């Protein structure tokens, strides 16, 4: 088999696993170049680097006194605590997991959720990402933590994952499904999951009650170069691909404290207003959907 059968080179010499599109090349390039302090400084708190947002009430006592010299450091630690709390909620919905199971993180970023899953369940966790730099970072952290035998990131297209049919006991997308077509994504998760296996996603989605994505949702799309789907699209694509929802949890109210706290930090990126306003006006929702493969 020639290299061209397994990889595709997209503009500017970005090489990603086939099948690939110019858009996927853009996304690979985006995340290869991403080094936002809001992702890196929060991960520096305890070495778990996430690429998602947080949920839960802010512990204002942990922030210390306003104006104190260590206020910003404590605020960053609290934002990170809320990030990890979000991962804990996702892991809570994976159902029973055995030590000899394989879990799959589709769109694993720098690997924080994979490490947390291994720490909780003791099983193998494999992640996929289009970004070479993210995969290298995640694998380096796994080695530093001494879990490289159980936690691994691969440079891979989540629409064509390198797992055998039925190999995974559970899989998830944590704020990564807005970069792909949902029909293609859920068909691939249904393929790699064992019968009865659990799939979980936590995602922002636009509310179809509003008829079309709001201006705030459009701003979020532009900021992250993504395509946010509606809640209805998630449920329809799951139904079409043998993924039967067992829980649909609205986390919108639970994520607002994270965004309101982040908006007061030194780590703002300019997108905080769009998230806060869209969550408050109901045009955007933060959902967890857990579904079983039938």
Report whether pLDDT(177) > 80.
yes
pLDDT, average across residues 219-230? 96
Return the pLDDT at 22. Answer: 85
pTM listed for this prediction = 0.92
- In sequence order, what are the beta bridge partners of 245? 291
Instruction: For the chain, give every domain's residue range.
Output: 20-36+96-254+283-293
- Distance CA(36)–CA(186), nearest Å, equals 30
The total of other beta-carbon atoms located within 10 Å of residue 130's CB is 26
- Residue, of 79 and 2, whose pLDDT is higher: 79
CATH numeric code, 20-36+96-254+283-293: 3.40.50.150
DSSP string, 6-48: TEEEETTTEEEESS--HHHHHHHHHHHH---HHHHHHHTTTT-
Report whether pLDDT(251) > 70.
yes
Report whether pLDDT(13) > 50.
no
Report whether pLDDT(8) > 60.
no
The total of other beta-carbon atoms located within 10 Å of residue 45's CB is 17
Report whether pLDDT(169) > 50.
yes
Report whether pLDDT(5) > 50.
no
Segment holding 280, helix H or strand E = helix 272-281
Using the Cα atoms of residue 196, residue 200, residue 206 and residue 212 in order, give the sign of their dihedral. negative
Return the pLDDT at 3. Answer: 32
- Residue, of 73 and 18, whose pLDDT is higher: 73
């Amino acid at each position: 088999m020639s290299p061209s059968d397994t990889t595709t080179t997209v503009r500017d010499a970005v090489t990603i696993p086939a099948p690939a599109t110019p858009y996927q090349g853009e996304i690979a390039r985006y995340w290869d170049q991403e080094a936002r302090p809001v992702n890196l400084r929060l991960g520096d708190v305890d070495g778990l680097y996430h690429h998602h947002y947080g949920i839960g009430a802010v512990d204002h006592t942990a922030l210390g006194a306003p104006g104190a010299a260590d206020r910003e450091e404590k605020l960053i630690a609290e934002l990170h605590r809320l990030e990890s709390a979000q991962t804990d909620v996702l892991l809570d919905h994976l159902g029973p997991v055995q030590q000899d199971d394989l879990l799959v993180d589709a769109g694993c970023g720098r690997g924080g959720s994979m490490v947390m899953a291994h720490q909780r369940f003791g099983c193998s966790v494999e992640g996929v990402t289009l970004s070479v730099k993210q995969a290298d970072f995640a694998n380096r952290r796994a080695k530093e933590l001494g879990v490289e035998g159980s936690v691994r990131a691969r440079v891979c297209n989540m629409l064509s994952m390198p797992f055998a049919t039925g190999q995974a006991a559970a899989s998830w997308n944590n704020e990564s499904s807005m970069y792909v077509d949902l029909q293609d994504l859920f068909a691939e998760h249904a393929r790699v999951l064992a019968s009865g296996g659990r799939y979980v996603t936590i995602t922002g989605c636009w509310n179809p009650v509003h008829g079309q994505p709001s201006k705030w949702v459009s701003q979020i799309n532009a900021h992250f170069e993504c395509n946010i789907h509606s809640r209805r699209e998630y449920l329809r694509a799951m139904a079409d691909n043998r993924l039967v929802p067992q829980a649909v949890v609205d986390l919108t109210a639970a994520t607002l404290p994270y965004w309101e706290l982040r908006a007061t930090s030194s780590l703002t990126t300019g997108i905080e207003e769009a998230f806060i306003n869209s969550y408050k006006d109901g045009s955007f929702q933060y959902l967890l959907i857990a579904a079983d493969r039938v």
